[in-house]
Amino acid sequence: LEKVAAIQFDRVIDIAKRRGIIFQSSEIYGGISGFFDFGPIGCLMKRKIVDSWREFFLTPEDRIYEMETCTIMPEQVLRASGHLKDFIDPATQCKGCNSIFRADNLIEESTGQFVEGMDPVELTRIISEKGVKCPKCGGELGPTRIFNLMLATNVGPVEGSIAYLRPETAQGIFVNFKNICGSTRAKLPFGVAQVGTSYRNEISPRQWLIRLREFRQMEIEMFINPKAEEPPQLRQFSHVKLPILTREAQAGGGQPIELSVEESLKVLPNKFLAYFMAKELLWYQQLGIPKGAIRFRHMNPNETPHYSKGNFDMEIRFDFGWKEIVGNAYRTDFDLKTHMANSGKDLTCLEGEEKVLPHVVEPSFGIDRTFYALLLYSYRDDGRGWEWFAFPPRIAPYLCAVFPLVSKDGLPERAEGIYKGLRSDFDATFDSSGSIGRRYARSDEIGIPYCITCDYQTLEDSTVTIRNRDDSSQVRTSVGDLPEVLGGLMRGDISFSAAGKPMK
Amino acid sequence: LEKVAAIQFDRVIDIAKRRGIIFQSSEIYGGISGFFDFGPIGCLMKRKIVDSWREFFLTPEDRIYEMETCTIMPEQVLRASGHLKDFIDPATQCKGCNSIFRADNLIEESTGQFVEGMDPVELTRIISEKGVKCPKCGGELGPTRIFNLMLATNVGPVEGSIAYLRPETAQGIFVNFKNICGSTRAKLPFGVAQVGTSYRNEISPRQWLIRLREFRQMEIEMFINPKAEEPPQLRQFSHVKLPILTREAQAGGGQPIELSVEESLKVLPNKFLAYFMAKELLWYQQLGIPKGAIRFRHMNPNETPHYSKGNFDMEIRFDFGWKEIVGNAYRTDFDLKTHMANSGKDLTCLEGEEKVLPHVVEPSFGIDRTFYALLLYSYRDDGRGWEWFAFPPRIAPYLCAVFPLVSKDGLPERAEGIYKGLRSDFDATFDSSGSIGRRYARSDEIGIPYCITCDYQTLEDSTVTIRNRDDSSQVRTSVGDLPEVLGGLMRGDISFSAAGKPMK
């Protein structure tokens, strides 16, 4: 953990750009801050992260359906959802250089005082009392005003009608609730998930992939009977210990306490939260985030979203400090109730004879932030300029790269044959250009776990070397055994040294 | 084909809504026209369509990389790309009821004259000469004006700066070209693909999933050396006959002519177009679109997009007529050249010693339109109220459904066990509610190819029935053989009657 704080994160950003993981969007035109693109390698990895999430969270037992709704939504929806009124940030403008800043962030950075959620009058007072100045020009700051974070557009010809780019994928699920119930015939509890893009017109985007204006989410809206006892699958996770940072601990500067799932039920506003929190902790550990870098923070009342009756956000310790990566909200019947009232449509469902307006528990995952954490915690450096990412095999862009030792004497052809034999079952890539050392280095930079090299001995006895990314050790194995060996390594069934005869 | 024209397409839209394939977006608030959501079943199918496309088009031999770029792009990008000036439609407003219409569509519908791409002065003249009136109130139509189809938004605090929702995914690829070359080290020819959402502020959205304001695309930008002979893989498709509707045939009201890939090279502006067109023809046939319902139309000069030196769009015959489903454009160096000039960045790449500005061939697939075609050509009706979708097994939301014959005597438990045994290898679903007939009907409505039913005999001899969606015929097979039988059926290796012992 201490190592993470010491990482030169600029190095990670540099590799990510140079190797096609993350590019600044529209960079050749200077871009707009808060927009990033996934390059060829990043795109492969993002797909694997989303697939891994689906496999882990959207199990048939959980009855979680997935849908894909539009990113543009009519004003009525976002008025009803409360976003028009409450999805806001406090902004202050410098009287000298006209730069605009988020007032709360400016105060926090300048005074260390945590003020998220305070009203504009209070913020203006603190800025004045503490003498907070413009960080760009040192000028005086104007009064704090409220700024809505939604991006607006006009749909339709000429005058058009106002619509918004969705601030969360969740609203697309809530307004479809009746259609979902009707078509799936699902009984409570059931969930609806969505993976997609959302938008926030951040006043000051920052920290690379952390605070973006266009970002990608994976959200689950779990619909439950408010009288429901607990999730049927909860007991499977009773062994998990949740590191929870209570409000009391935050007020006193204390540490998270470890609560068993059973114990956590007394603290959490809804038992389904415990279920998702336990799974989140396990999934992020699978991605390589150490348990000590994860905590669940009970949000204070003034920072809790307007729709939530309690948030226990999963935070990860980044190089710059702790930051939310999964929002866990107990949305109650807030959304369905307001959409029912505003649309005039009945959004209850039948539980036996009784009409029930379901409550909602929502874990909302930030894909971009997950990516940041993955890169941060996978980054390795041998201190002599050799850098690599220790991605888990299932998340790495490729499981293996196949190389000929040199580009002559039939080795490239032999290596390509091996590559073609592997690629239908494994994510494999092939590279024959440059020295073998350069190819190992390039492969390490995108975190390919295993390099398979075809050398002169291969021509004699059909064996190849497999090189382990994490310690550069090599073993020798026969070409015929490769599928079994790679499968075993990917599943973690065999250790690397058992994968063949160690060399040297 | 004649049958397609006779289909009551409202029936298809009704099933699609009722069964969770396609919902109108924000329907409970009346929605906005031109926005549709994928429901739980539609979302499953969309994923399979995209995966099938990736497998077919993004092969390692083609060296096509995939990326994912932002949907919001700065104004400079879209000014440089020509979209600010040329991505326009002619609009006319009724002087009576103030309704706004696309002038060219109105003329086409009212007079049968094809006027796409004509300038506003000509359109105004035709409306006046032919006496075209408002279709809503019969009022007089005002002069035709030009209307830009991009949706704008303001990014940043307070005043902000204008940005646009991308009108195509392609621009995100072009502005990243330098980063892509640098990170992949790819040599020409290579491609970059993107699957994602694009936006057009259509004047009058129509025809369900055809003309949308928010739509999903799968695009490939193939970067080639303008001196390149032909795609290396082209000869694999020399057996394919392309149905091409030439400009001459269109002018004379003629039919498409069948050209071999070899012959087509003389007609097409670039040989890479032939390669993609041949693959498109094959892929859409795999989806179940008959060859006779597909043609490649050489677009006339006035309807060819501003960036293209020639479009041969793949059209499908829908219930309402022929419509573009894949745009095949020879974009030349139009985009890279303009972005190079406007950004001041060098976008050439080295071919040996020579600096080359690549040319681009682009097949651009509409996902929503593909969905429409798939539903249309898969819809079946026995004339007595039994309706189903004959989806290809790989595209169907599930390959099989597992049912207990009745909900008692241990049959549900047995059926669930069989379902759990299958679901790790096959897309399977389980349903035990309602009569077996109702369950067969529901399963047919979402096009599940095979229903596996567990009955009293199952308890005795561990055999189950498999029911074939397309003719309701049944065979009996042992539970142990199911994985092999289902695998064979999915791959098409075995016929249904060979899958077991036919019954009755």
Q: Residue B176: which of A37, A76, A342 has the nearest Cβ? A: A37
Residue A134, pLDDT above cutoff 80: yes
Instruction: Assign B492 a pLDDT band (cuts: 50, 70, 90).
Output: confident
Instruction: Assign B232 a pLDDT band (cuts: 50, 70, 90).
Output: confident
Residue A105 or A458, more confident: A458
Q: Residue B345: which of A28, A175, A433 has the nearest Cβ? A: A28
Closest CA to A164 of A147, A152, A154: A152
Instruction: Assign A492 a pLDDT band (cuts: 50, 70, 90).
Output: confident
- Whether residues B70 and A214 touch (CB distance < 8 A) is answered with yes
Provide the pLDDT for residue B118. Answer: 86
Provide the pLDDT for residue A499. Answer: 81
Q: Residue A40: which of B36, B60, B183 has the nearest Cβ? A: B183
Q: Which one of A155, A426, A442, A443 makes the best mutation probe of the B interface by having the most chain B beta carbons within 10 Å?
A: A155
| Ramachandran class of B223: left when φ > 0, alpha when ψ lies in -120 to 50, beta otherwise | beta
């310690």: which residue's tokens? A471
End-to-end CA distance of chain B: 33
Closest CA to B369 of B294, B307, B308, B268: B294
Residue A25 or B492, more confident: A25
Q: Which one of B29, B35, B164, B174 makes the best mutation probe of the A interface by having the most chain A beta carbons within 10 Å?
A: B29
Three-state SS at A156: coil
Most distant pair of Cα atoms in chain A: their distance: 80
Report pLDDT digits (tens) over B395-453: 999 999 999 999 999 999 999 999 999 999 999 999 999 999 999 999 999 999 999 99
Task: Find the length of chain A.
Answer: 504
Give contacts of B367 with chain A, Cβ < 8 Å.
none
Give contacts of A43 with chain B, Cβ < 8 Å.
65-68
Report pLDDT digits (tens) over B71-110: 999 999 999 999 999 999 899 999 998 888 889 989 988 8
Going B158 to B164 to B170 to B175, the CA torsion angle's sign is negative
**From residue B410, how far is each of A108, A190, B419, B480 by CA, in Å?**
63, 25, 14, 19
Residue B119, pLDDT above cutoff 70: yes
Number of alpha helices (DSSP H) and beta strands (DSSP E) in chain A = 18, 27
Give the Cα separation of A350 and B354 in Å (integer).
71
Give contacts of A418 with chain B, Cβ < 8 Å.
none
Mapping DSSP onto H, E and C, the string for B184-231 reads HCCCCCEEEEEEEEEECCCCCCECCCCECCEEEEEEEEEEECCCCCCC
Provide the pLDDT for residue A500. Answer: 79
Give the Cα separation of B339 and B335 in Å (integer).
6
């204390």: which residue's tokens? A254
Residue B69, pLDDT above cutoff 90: yes
Residue A503, pLDDT above cutoff 70: no
Give contacts of B37 with chain A, Cβ < 8 Å.
67-70, 172, 176
Q: Which two tokens stand for residue A10?
A: 């600029």
Report pLDDT digits (tens) over B135-176: 999 999 999 999 899 999 999 876 678 999 999 999 999 999
Mean pLDDT, range A177-201, rounded to an integer: 96
CB contact set of A440 (below 8 Å; sequence gap of 6+):
A451, A467, A472
- Whether residues A39 and B66 touch (CB distance < 8 A) is answered with no
The mean predicted confidence, pLDDT, of chain B is 94
Q: Which H/E stretch holds residue B16?
A: helix B9-18
Residue B504, pLDDT above cutoff 60: no
- Whether residues B71 and A214 touch (CB distance < 8 A) is answered with yes
Three-state SS at A149: coil
Give yes or no for a contact between B245 and B333, defined as CB atoms under 8 angstroms apart: no
- Pairing state of beta strands A241-245 and B214-224? unpaired
The mean predicted confidence, pLDDT, of chain A is 94
Q: Supply the DSSP symbol for B235.
A: G
Strand order in the sheet with A145-148: A100-102, A88-93, A145-148
Give the Cα separation of A86 and A117 in Å (integer).
11
Q: Which H/E stretch holds residue A198?
A: strand A190-199
Mean pLDDT, range B46-61, rounded to an integer: 96
Three-state SS at A365: strand
Q: Which two tokens stand for residue A141?
A: 């700051």
CB contact set of B24 (below 8 Å; sequence gap of 6+):
B17, B31, B35, B36, B37
Instruction: Assign A504 a pLDDT band (cuts: 50, 70, 90).
Output: very low
Going A488 to A490 to A493 to A494, the CA torsion angle's sign is positive
Identity of the amino acid at A485: V
**From residue B258, how far is each of A24, A287, A388, B273, B347 by CA, in Å?**
46, 53, 54, 16, 39
β-bridge mates for residue A380, sequence order? A388
- Whether residues B172 and A25 touch (CB distance < 8 A) is answered with yes
Q: How much of chain A exceeds pLDDT 90, in percent?
A: 82
pTM score of the predicted model: 0.95
Residue B359, pLDDT above cutoff 90: yes
Give the Cα separation of B457 and B463 in Å (integer).
7
| Distance, CA of B31 to chain centre | 23
Report pLDDT digits (tens) over A34-89: 999 999 999 999 999 999 999 999 998 999 999 999 999 999 999 999 999 999 98
- Whether residues B155 and A154 touch (CB distance < 8 A) is answered with no
Give the Cα separation of B310 and B164 in Å (integer).
26
For residue A429, the chain B residue with the least C-alpha distance is B60
Give the Cα separation of A21 and A371 in Å (integer).
10
For residue A203, the chain B residue with the least C-alpha distance is B157
Three-state SS at A320: coil
Instruction: Assign A427 a pLDDT band (cuts: 50, 70, 90).
Output: very high
Q: Which one of A25, A62, A70, A216 makes the best mutation probe of the B interface by having the most chain B beta carbons within 10 Å?
A: A70
Give the Cα separation of B326 and B268 in Å (integer).
16
Q: Which residues of A329-364 are buried (b: 16+ CB within 10 A; e: fewer)?
A: bbbbbbbbebbbeebeeebbbeeeeeebbbbbbbbb
- Whether residues B182 and A18 touch (CB distance < 8 A) is answered with yes
Q: Which one of B15, B26, B63 makes the best mutation probe of the A interface by having the most chain A beta carbons within 10 Å?
A: B26
């999915």: which residue's tokens? B490
Instruction: Assign B376 a pLDDT band (cuts: 50, 70, 90).
Output: very high
- Whether residues A213 and B155 touch (CB distance < 8 A) is answered with yes
What is the value of ipTM here, to two decimals?
0.94
End-to-end CA distance of chain A: 33
Instruction: Assign B1 a pLDDT band (cuts: 50, 70, 90).
Output: low
Residue A302, pLDDT above cutoff 50: yes
Q: How much of chain B exceeds pLDDT 70, in percent?
A: 98
Return phi, psi of residue A234, to 5°: -60, -40
- Pairing state of beta strands A450-454 and A400-404? parallel
Give contacts of A154 with chain B, Cβ < 8 Å.
151-152, 201
Mapping DSSP onto H, E and C, the string for A208-267 reads CCCECCEEEEEEEEEEECCCCCCCCCHHHHCCCEEEEECHHHHHCCCCCEEEEHHHHCCC
